[in-house]
Amino acid sequence: MASKQMANVKGAQKINQKVISKRKDSARSVNTKNQETENSDESVDTNSDNLNTGISEENSKKVADALNQVLADEFVLYTKTLNFHWNIEGRDFHALHLFLDDQYNQLQLIIDSVAERVRKVGHFATGSMKEFLDSASLDEHSGAASVSENMIAELASDHDALIRKTRTLIDDFDEKYDDAGSADFITGIMKEHEKMAWMLRASVPQQMGK
What average pLDDT does the segment 75-99 reach? 90
How large is the angle between the packed helices 180-203 and 57-87, nearest 10 degrees?
Answer: 20
* pLDDT for residue 199 is more than 60: yes
What average pLDDT does the segment 98-107 reach? 96
Say if 82 falls within a structural domain.
yes
Residue 143 makes CB contacts below 8 A (sequence gap 6+) with: none
Query: Which tops the pLDDT comparison, 89 or 65?
Result: 65
Predicted confidence at residue 33, as pLDDT, reads 46
Q: Distance (Å, rounded) from C-alpha 143 to C-alpha 48?
A: 51
Query: Which tops the pLDDT comparison, 15 or 75?
Result: 75
* pLDDT for residue 50 is more than 50: no
Torsion sign, CA atoms 77, 78, 84, 87 = negative
Does one domain contain both 21 and 124?
Answer: no
Residue 204's H or E segment, with its range, is none
Say if 102 falls within a structural domain.
yes
- Would you say 63 and 182 are in contact if contact means Cβ atoms under 8 Å apart? yes
Structural domain range at position 42? 1-46
Give the whole-number percent of the chain exceeding pLDDT 90: 57
Q: What total number of domains does the chain contain? A: 2
Give the whole-number percent of the chain exceeding pLDDT 70: 70
* pLDDT for residue 4 is more than 80: no
* pLDDT for residue 193 is more than 80: yes
Does one domain contain both 158 and 199?
Answer: yes
* pLDDT for residue 47 is more than 50: no
Say if 6 falls within a structural domain.
yes
Does one domain contain both 65 and 26?
Answer: no
What average pLDDT does the segment 4-22 reach? 51
Question: Which of the given ranges, 20-24, 112-116, 151-155, has the highest pLDDT on average?
Answer: 112-116
